């Protein structure tokens, strides 16, 4: 069996870095990418090939993909992990910031996928693993643009899965819940920047309280990485993997009750109100 080649975006921290480390342990050749390589030096020391890449820069992405192909002649697994949470009331977020949310979380991801697909198709196999979120299956106030980008990613992934199946390529969604990372801090800083001094100021405080409480149920990024590697190793992977247990329970409840009832549940549980 040929050595498997993995390309991971957003590998400087969180799920991306944890996945890179676990793939290395499993003997994969890992190309770890992020807008800056400084936070990936530890990955390089463990054997990863680190590359600077901004998923919103098409020329940068093309250079990276071409380099990997030149060196390895294949890309077996693409882990589309790069992304961030733009938070703030929908009314308060500028169109420019909203577009940037989609550029990173959706358009950049799709653009990179388009570049990798011909390589996978030529080899008649490949796995594209898109890191969505449990918040790509349900919503909370203050995260409208983030939710929208992840809902769109879900739709793109579902279509792509059907389009590339006949070429031996599998598309897999990962829906993480609360994972230990910098995500919450970035989301909260964006929310404060956009809405702390607006009519949604109270809701911004409620979001902060929620994110503080959520730390009690957060799990290590390695838990999500284990699921990603498991999906990569499977000959017949699931369409989606929800991780960890608390995310599975929330999604089960979402399917069980009506949308209005679920809204009421969220309002009471998360204490969101105007």
Q: Which of 4, 17, 127, 150 is catalytic?
A: 150
Instruction: Tokens 């920047």: give the residue.
Output: 193
150 is catalytic: yes
Q: Which of 146, 151, 200, 241 is catalytic?
A: 146
Q: Which two tokens stand for residue 25?
A: 């342990």
146 is catalytic: yes
Instruction: Tokens 């017949």: give the residue.
Output: 236
Please compute Rg for the chain using Cα positions: 19
Which residues partner with 30 through β-bridges? 6
Closest CA to 152 of 132, 134, 169: 132
Q: Which of 12, 72, 149, 181 is catalytic?
A: 12
Q: Which of 4, 28, 31, 132 is catalytic?
A: 132
12 is catalytic: yes
DSSP string, 60-108: HHHHHHHHHHHHHS---EEEE-------S-TTTS-HHHHHHHHIIIIIH
Query: What is the rounded CA–CA span in Å between residue 274 and residue 271?
Result: 10
Sheet strands (E) in the chain: 5-8, 29-34, 49-52, 77-80, 126-131, 169-176, 240-243
The b/e string for 4-24 (b: 16+ C-beta within 10 A; e otherwise) is bbbbbbbbbebbbbbbbbbbb
Residues labelled as active-site residues: 12, 132, 146, 150
């Amino acid at each position: 069996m040929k050595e498997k080649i993995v390309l991971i975006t957003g590998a400087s921290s969180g799920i991306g870095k944890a996945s890179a480390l676990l793939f290395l342990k499993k003997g994969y050749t890992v190309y770890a990418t992020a807008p800056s390589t400084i936070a990936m030096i530890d990955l390089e020391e463990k054997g990863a090939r680190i590359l600077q890449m901004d998923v919103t820069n098409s020329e940068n992405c093309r250079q990276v993909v071409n380099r990997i192909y030149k060196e390895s002649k294949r890309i077996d697994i693409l882990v589309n992990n790069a992304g961030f949470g733009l938070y703030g009331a929908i009314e308060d977020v500028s169109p420019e910031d909203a577009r940037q949310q989609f550029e990173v979380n959706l358009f950049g991801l799709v653009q990179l996928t388009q570049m990798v697909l011909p390589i996978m198709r030529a080899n008649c196999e490949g796995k594209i693993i898109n890191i969505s979120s449990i918040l790509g299956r349900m919503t909370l106030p203050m995260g409208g643009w983030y939710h929208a980008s992840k809902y769109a990613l879900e739709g793109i992934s579902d279509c792509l899965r059907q389009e590339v199946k006949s070429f031996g390529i599998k598309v897999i969604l990962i829906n993480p819940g609360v994972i230990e990372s910098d995500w919450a801090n970035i989301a909260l800083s964006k929310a404060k920047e956009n809405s702390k001094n607006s009519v949604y100021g109270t809701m911004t405080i409620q979001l902060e309280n929620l994110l503080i409480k959520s730390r009690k149920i957060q799990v290590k990024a390695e838990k999500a990485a284990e699921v990603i590697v498991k999906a990569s190793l499977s000959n017949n992977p699931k369409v989606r993997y929800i991780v960890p247990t608390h995310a599975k329970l929330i999604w089960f409840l979402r399917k069980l009750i009506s949308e209005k009832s679920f809204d009421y549940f969220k309002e009471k549980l998360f204490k969101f109100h105007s």
